[in-house]
Amino acid sequence: MYQLPQTLPSATLGAPADGAEPKRVVDLAAALEWLRTEHAVLLTALRQAEEEGMHRHAWQLSWALGETTNLSRTHLHSR
């Protein structure tokens, strides 16, 4: 059985934009399924943020994608 590491690197993120409602993660499998489903959209958002000079958004999204990709790979290899 896979267990999340006790400590994960963290980043300080600002509050969500008005009207945004972060979804609660039910479990790791649901989170990884969401990531697989939305991966292309997230990469497009990253490219757009970079192209429009939204550097803070770009690095935060890039960091989050890197961390979740690493977590996803660790989870898949632990099965």
Distance CA 68, CA 54 (A): 21
Q: Is residue 56 within 8 Å of 11, Cβ to Cβ? A: no
Cα–Cα nearest to 60, from 7, 17, 6: 17
Q: For residue range 46-74, what is the model confidence (pLDDT) as tens digits?
A: 999 999 999 988 988 888 888 777 666 66
Q: What is the pTM (predicted TM-score) of this model?
A: 0.61
In this structure, what token pair is assigned to residue 71?
A: 């977590």
pLDDT > 90: what percent of the chain? 24
